[in-house]
Structure 1
Amino acid sequence: MLLSKIKKKTLSIIDGLEVVDFGFALPYSWVLIEGSGGRTLGVAMTLPEEIQRYVNSIDNISIKEFIERLDSFNVVERTLALAAVNAVSQYYLELSREEINKDVLELLPDDPGKIALIGNMPPIARELRKRGFEVYVFERNPKLWDRDTYSDALEYHLLPDMDVVIASGSCIVNGTLDMLLDRAKNVELFVLTGPTAQLLPEFLRHTIVTHIASMKVVDITKALLGLKLGSFRGFEGGTIKYIIEVP
């Protein structure tokens, strides 16, 4: 399981890092950490449709306690754990000028073939269709379906035929990332995207993921206020977009 490997790698680099604050919230859960190099904020999409009965198994609030639950079958624990992993990732992430303020669509070739969107991302889907590309949109949450959306149950059958995959980072939270990587093994481009995809690219080395397109929080006060107020895009005023290649 990839999450177990990511957990092990993250635990090896958390010395000197402490949890300052955290929140399990809508639309994003978040963890704020601090080390000698300053503070960083990690987020993870909260999926209320996935939540069942929750019994808190965290005894002490610490970065280690959170990260240990990254491969938990409890989605609440897994969400907070991913936010913590993302906070650690952002602490160590270094971006070049060329990687900042880029759009995921810039990665596509002129003739990308069949494109799969994992998670209904209407702005991206509209732009891809506007360009005349063949797009397949998969979504687990029925509330986000439209007439052009496939159930995520069809990912298993259709992904082997895809040439490009653009996957929302929420696939890490809902536990489908391993299946996606296994079934999409024929793709030439696999982009993990969205605020939830703040992982260090080194964590995805030796997988078929080629790029991460995410957001780095540069104004923690502004971003944290937006998160606490529950605004879907409120925290983005304190962030910058980036695209980074997986080594």
Structure 2
Amino acid sequence: MLLGKIKREALRLANGLELVDFGFALPYTWVLVEGPEGRALGVAMTLPEEVQRYRNSITEPSLEAFIGKADSINAIERTLGLAAINAVSQYHIDLSGAEWGDVLELIPENSGKVALIGNMPPLVRELREKGYEIYVFERNARLWDKDTFSDALEYHLLPEMDAVIASATCLVNGTIDMLLDRAKRAGLFVLTGPTGQLLPEFLRGTGVTHLAAMKVVDIKRALLGLKLGSFKGFEEGNRKYVVEVM
């Protein structure tokens, strides 16, 4: 399981970092860490539809305790674990070779069939306007429209796709391994969204080609947005980037 591999690598890099604060919240769960080089904020999108039992086995919060639960079957523990891994990743990440831009810039013309894992309306609209042949898959029925496929069809249709743009919440709901296995034909596989703040080296050799995420450049502003449950408030403290998984 990919999350198991990622958590082992993150635990090694967490050495010397301190858990400053955290919150399991909407729209994002967040973890704030601090080390000799300063502070870093990691997030993971909270998926209420995935939470079945509001119980967390962690009684003494720590960075290591959170990361250790990143591959838990408990959605609360898994979300906190991913936010902690992202905080560690953002502390260590080197974005000197990153492109400060949007995921749209990665998709070449005449790219064939493009799958979007997660209904992301602004991205869907722009891709359709540009004439791409896109297939939108979504688990949450509340986000369906007439052109949206159930995520149950991912298993059958992903082998036909030439490019995949996947919301990084596939790490939260535990579908990342299946997606990578079924999308082996795809020459482009991007994890996108704030939940994709991982260190690129965590994904080396997996089939993921790029990460399109957000770097928190104003922690105070972004953290206030998170505490107020505001997408816009959080994003105002961020800068989008795209980095290749080498």
Q: TM-score range by the shorter chain?
A: over 0.9
- Please name the residue that 1:68 is paired with: 68
Question: Unaligned stretches of 5+ in structure 2?
Answer: none
SS of the residue aligned with 2:177? helix
> Cα distance, 1:95 vs. partner?
0.9
Work out whether residues 100 and 240 of structure 1, in 8 Å CA contact, stay in contact via their aligned partners in 2. no
Pairs within 5 Å for 1:202-221: 202-221=201-220
Deviations 1:202-225 (A, max 9, x none): 000011100000001010000000
Question: Unaligned stretches of 5+ in structure 1?
Answer: none
Aligned residue pairs, count = 246
Deviations 1:93-129 (A, max 9, x none): 1112x62421111111111100000000011111111
- Please name the residue that 2:56 is paired with: 56
TM-score, normalised relative to structure 2: 0.98
Deviations 1:172-193 (A, max 9, x none): 0000000000000100100000
Distance 2:164 2:111 in 1: 10
- Please name the residue that 1:113 is paired with: 112
Distance 1:25 1:136 in 2: 30
Distance 1:59 1:227 in 2: 23
> Cα distance, 1:56 vs. partner?
2.0
> Cα distance, 1:13 vs. partner?
1.1
> Cα distance, 1:60 vs. partner?
1.4
Deviations 1:12-37 (A, max 9, x none): 11111111000000010000000111
SS of the residue aligned with 2:178? helix
Matched residues, percent identical? 69
Deviations 1:45-98 (A, max 9, x none): 0000111113221131110000000010000000000000000000001112x6
Structure 1 residue 42 corresponds to structure 2 residue 32 = no
Report the AA paired with residue 32 of structure 2.
Answer: L
Distance 1:102 1:31 in 2: 25
Report the AA paired with residue 49 of structure 1.
Answer: E
Distance 1:121 1:59 in 2: 36
Report the AA paired with residue 217 of structure 1.
Answer: V
Moved over 4 A (4+): none
> Cα distance, 1:10 vs. partner?
0.5
Deviations 1:140-192 (A, max 9, x none): 00111111100000000000000000000100000000000000010010000
> Cα distance, 1:243 vs. partner?
0.4
Structure 1 residue 125 corresponds to structure 2 residue 124 = yes
Pairs within 5 Å for 1:1-247: 1-96=1-96, 99-247=98-246
TM-score, normalised relative to structure 1: 0.98
Work out whether residues 40 and 88 of structure 1, in 8 Å CA contact, stay in contact via their aligned partners in 2. yes
Distance 2:243 2:7 in 1: 21
Distance 1:22 1:131 in 2: 40
